[in-house]
Amino acid sequence: MTNDYNVLVTSMNYNTDGTITVRGTRQGTKEAFTLICTAEQLCRSTLTPNNSTNQTSTSVPLFKLSDIPSAMREKGSHMAAYLNEKWLNDRSLEMNIAEKGRWATIRPSLILYKPDIFNHQWLKKFERYNNALDDIKTNITSDACKKLILKYFKRDGAFRSSKLKKLSYSSESNYKELKNINSRDNSELKKLQKFHENWQCQKLLIDDGINDQLHTFIKSGFKVDDLWATFGSFAIYAAIGNYRIIPQTGDYYMVYIESIICYAIDSYDFIITPDDYLGHWNKKDFDFNIILKNRINNLNTHRNPRGGDYIGSFNPNNLLYPIYNHHYQEYRKKYQKGKDMVVWTKPEIISMKDVKNKFKTFVVSKSDILSSL
């Protein structure tokens, strides 16, 4: 079926099994056109010649789910293509809704840790990530953060008198243990989880909710960049790196946060609760209708706004088909593939040297600390 092949639509049905059937005729002929879209073999068209001829029907696959990675690459979303391709090709491994978000205890077999590609160097290419880091730095001593920080310090004995006999006490979390983690060893991956559980003190959401997504979409020129295509809504986490405690005259300790450890975590799954809309796709193109997420497909652009009849024609190869989480679940059932993943970016040490003192220091009462030890 050539690219200049146009069809006049005569009917379109939405079937109870979730498929769509479109019928029409080839423009300028009496040849019957039928388009059937299903979940895993998403769009296939059949052209049946006029009965007065002896020609046989021709069936052409227009689009299927496994075409999405190449379409992502066409749009420059190479990291998103990597994850999508991995999900489609790896053996089925399913995350359940109850464990999603519990990153410190989730099965290590679900963790994807590729520090050579998913890291700070990639993330900092995107303005909203850098803005998020700035927000994290200036909020690391918020009241909620301070409670967690003091909890961690007391747990590690930072306020014991033997350690504070000198003018100051300097220490650090165990972030250096994360330097050479074997990404294929579950016991090694547990080090990431343990660090997250023991030292994480702040979380900031990126592209969370319709307002943030609209802002990102408009600011990027109505395009979906590689960060959004890869992670969608996700979170940046901050943990304690290096710190110093200095006894003050009177009843106070001064706490200095000298560095923090930042990393992103996001689940790459297609759990149907909710059945997320993932954009409109074909072999080479993509569209994301952020407001009209339930739009059936771009055939609606050919509908007469008065009577609902179709007018004009369309090229079958240009059909953009809406994709949802349930398409991936049906693909999993058919092929026993589909590996859900929890993607961790490489933890990055972020210096607080250039941050104003009021954002990286706080005082704590000695008597309050001693009474709680």
Q: What pLDDT digit, counting tens, does each position of 346-360 carry?
A: 999 999 999 999 999
Contact 273, 346 (CB under 8 A): no
Average pLDDT score over residue span 179-186: 91
- C-alpha dist (Å) from residue 44 to 58, 60, 295, 321, 333: 10, 6, 20, 12, 20
Return the minimum-mean-pLDDT range out of 29-43, 251-265, 286-300: 286-300
Residue 58 or 346, more confident? 346
- For the chain, the domain total comes to 2
Residues belonging to the chain:
373
- Give a yes or no: residue 77 inside a domain: no
Alpha-carbon distance 45 to 1, whole Å?
Answer: 9
pTM above 0.85, yes or no: yes
Q: What per-residue confidence (pLDDT) applies to 205?
A: 95
- Give a yes or no: residue 39 inside a domain: yes
Indicate if 152 and 262 belong to the same structural domain: yes
Indicate if 181 and 51 belong to the same structural domain: no
Indicate if 318 and 366 belong to the same structural domain: no
Of all residues in the chain, the percent with pLDDT exceeding 70 is 87
Indicate if 348 and 323 belong to the same structural domain: no
pLDDT higher than threshold 90 for residue 105: yes
Contact 230, 131 (CB under 8 A): no
Average pLDDT score over residue span 67-94: 95
- Give a yes or no: residue 85 inside a domain: no
Indicate if 253 and 169 belong to the same structural domain: yes
- Give a yes or no: residue 286 inside a domain: no
Structural domain boundaries enclosing 47: 7-64+294-328
Indicate if 233 and 144 belong to the same structural domain: yes
Indicate if 298 and 221 belong to the same structural domain: no
Indicate if 228 and 305 belong to the same structural domain: no
What confidence tier does 118 reach under pLDDT thresholds 50, 70, 90? very high
Indicate if 237 and 112 belong to the same structural domain: yes
Question: And the tokens for 109?
Answer: 């077999």
- Give a yes or no: residue 246 inside a domain: yes
Q: What is the pLDDT of residues 120-171, one digit of tens each?
A: 999 999 999 999 999 999 999 999 999 999 999 989 888 876 555 556 778 9
Residues 6+ apart with CB under 8 A from 302: 9, 310, 311, 312, 313, 314
Average pLDDT score over residue span 85-93: 97
- Give a yes or no: residue 336 inside a domain: no
Indicate if 114 and 204 belong to the same structural domain: yes
Return the minimum-mean-pLDDT range out of 26-35, 93-102, 187-196: 26-35
Question: And the tokens for 319?
Answer: 């059909």
Q: What is the pLDDT of residues 222-256, one digit of tens each?
A: 778 999 999 989 999 999 999 999 888 888 889 99
Average pLDDT, the chain: 86
What confidence tier does 1 reach under pLDDT thresholds 50, 70, 90? very low
Indicate if 206 and 254 belong to the same structural domain: yes
Return the minimum-mean-pLDDT range out of 227-231, 248-252, 291-295, 318-322: 291-295
Q: For residue 197, which amino acid is it? A: E
- Give a yes or no: residue 69 inside a domain: no
Of all residues in the chain, the percent with pLDDT exceeding 90 is 51
Q: What per-residue confidence (pLDDT) applies to 212?
A: 80
Residues 6+ apart with CB under 8 A from 128: 206, 207, 216, 227
- Give a yes or no: residue 106 inside a domain: yes
